Chain A
Amino acid sequence: MKISISSQGWDLDSLVDPRFGRAAQFLIYDTEASSFEVISNSQNLNATQGAGIKAAEIMSHRGVRVLITGHCGPKAFNTLKTAGIEVISSAEGLTVAQALDKYKSGQFTTSNSPDVKGHWK
């Protein structure tokens, strides 16, 4: 199963990026292989609008089943939900490794709704 964490850096010690759509990178961890890859999100960082929607689409195309981030707005949440991806938006302040451990030990609560307002109506 693939778990994606919005990340400010390129390794497990990086801090979770509190933003989802305009996160710097995504670290995608594969629980079966116990390995990860990091993908740049620079294209969405510069998007005029809908960065969260596009990031959610990328998560879907990458086969991600769980997304861990700091905050998630209404359009991104809607898109992730439609794609059947579990959203956890309470990982601000943690490192990517801490967030992964917390997920594996079942200490996160799944988000049932967006936790911030949209930037665009």
Chain B
Amino acid sequence: MIVAVASGKGGTGKTTIASNLAVCLPRPKRLLDCDVEEPNCHIFLNPEIDTTERFTLPFPIVDETRCNGCGECSVMCRYNAIVTLQSKHLVFPELCHGCGGCVEVCPENAITEGQREIGSIHTGTHDHALFVQGLLDVGQALCPPLIYAVKRHTATNGITVIDCPPGTSCPVIAAVKKCDYVVLVAESSTFGLHDLRLAVDTMRKLNLNFGVVINRVSSADRQVAEFCRNEQIPVLLEIPEDRKAAEAYSRGQLLVDVVPGFRELFDRLCERILAEFHHS
């Protein structure tokens, strides 16, 4: 079973939920941090990293002596990473998504592929469970290929938890795709509700099973809970606003280890997710 932890809005508590959930779930289990622009689960889990590999993406290299300037490659490339200008051509590696389409369509076999480094993959263990994170290099913009590479570590048995990037764009789609269940973390505010709606629309479009965790709940603002009730979305857990939780978080500690009552909250969340999954 693959459980993704996502949100619309950033800063709602994805990493907190993912890392605390990961320690409470039954074994066998593993955690994949796919928030590759800012993977933060390691701060709370302190995994031992055994291997670090560089991740590369292919980009086209054109053999000028074979190119006849036909332009098939630039017609093919929807990312405008390769253009032909009569007898010349230009390649923009930083725009290339590495699909290899230009290599396939070139009638003169003039295109080969080079490799460019865009990030790294760190693999290790936390409490005897596999931990993997992707880390995009500073200045790079293209996350999905690195996210897919991290997701190749998904287990065939047991539970894989995936910490997703925020938002609803390509990196999030890459992270939640083919997951069995998505936990959407929302905060109960007008802004939180706005972005939760976007995330819910995205999950529905992708035909994914999902439920909501409402984080930092105060009694005053019930709009997210009401939205979920009206939309018949299961609320898996409501986490109360708690200064002790904020303090533990600021020290990089797991809430389930140090904040009274949180172990029980997350045990309940585990049960709910497993039940929702078996129910679906």
Q: Quote the shortest CB–CB distance from B36 to chain A (angstroms).
A: 16
- A79 lies within 8 A of B94 (CB): no
- A79 lies within 8 A of B79 (CB): no
The reply to whether the CB of B141 lies closer than 8 angstroms to some CB of chain A is yes
Chain B residues, Cβ within 8 Å of A75: 92, 95
Q: Looking at B79, B80, B81, B90, which has the most chain A CB atoms within 10 Å of its CB?
A: B80
- B80 lies within 8 A of A49 (CB): yes
- B74 lies within 8 A of A60 (CB): no
Chain B residues, Cβ within 8 Å of A53: 80, 83, 90, 92, 95
Q: A48-B79, A49-B79, A54-B80 are in contact. Are A83 and B95 (CB under 8 A)?
A: no
A-B Cβ contacts below 8 A, count? 48
Interface size on B, residues (CB 8 A): 18
- A83 lies within 8 A of B88 (CB): yes
Q: Interface digits, A58-91 against B, CB 8 Å rule (1 contact, 0 not)?
A: 0011000000000000010011001100000000
- B90 lies within 8 A of A50 (CB): no
Interface residues of B in 49-99 (CB under 8 A from A): 71, 74, 78-81, 83-86, 88, 90, 92, 94-95
- B83 lies within 8 A of A79 (CB): yes
Chain B at the A interface: SS class: loop
Interface residues of A in 81-121 (CB under 8 A from B): 82-83, 120-121
Q: Looking at B83, B90, B95, B139, which has the most chain A CB atoms within 10 Å of its CB?
A: B83
Chain B residues, Cβ within 8 Å of A120: 94-95, 141
Q: Interface digits, B224-258 against A, CB 8 Å rule (1 contact, 0 not)?
A: 00000000000000000000000000000000000
- B141 lies within 8 A of A121 (CB): yes
Q: Complex Cα distance A61/B18, Å?
A: 52
The reply to whether the CB of A56 lies closer than 8 angstroms to some CB of chain B is yes
Interface residues on A, range: 10 to 19
Interface residues of A in 37-58 (CB under 8 A from B): 47-51, 53-54, 56-57
Chain A at the B interface: SS class: helix
Q: A50-B92, A120-B95, A121-B94 are in contact. Are A79 and B81 (CB under 8 A)?
A: no
- B90 lies within 8 A of A82 (CB): yes
- B83 lies within 8 A of A56 (CB): yes
- B80 lies within 8 A of A50 (CB): yes
Q: Complex Cα distance A98/B76, Å?
A: 38
- A57 lies within 8 A of B83 (CB): yes
Q: Complex Cα distance A49/B141, Å?
A: 12
Chain B residues, Cβ within 8 Å of A78: 90
- B85 lies within 8 A of A82 (CB): yes
Q: Complex Cα distance A46/B45, Å?
A: 42
* A binding-site residues for B, Cβ under 8 Å: 47-51, 53-54, 56-57, 60-61, 75, 78-79, 82-83, 120-121
Q: Can you offer 16 A-B residue contacts whose CB atoms are under 8 A?
A: A48-B79, A49-B79, A49-B95, A50-B92, A50-B95, A54-B74, A60-B85, A78-B90, A82-B85, A82-B88, A83-B85, A83-B86, A120-B95, A120-B141, A121-B139, A121-B140
**Apart from A50-B92, A121-B139: 20 A-B pairs, beta carbons within 8 A:** A48-B78, A49-B95, A53-B83, A53-B90, A53-B92, A54-B80, A54-B83, A57-B74, A57-B84, A60-B85, A60-B86, A79-B85, A82-B88, A82-B90, A83-B86, A83-B88, A120-B94, A120-B95, A120-B141, A121-B140
* B binding-site residues for A, Cβ under 8 Å: 71, 74, 78-81, 83-86, 88, 90, 92, 94-95, 139-141
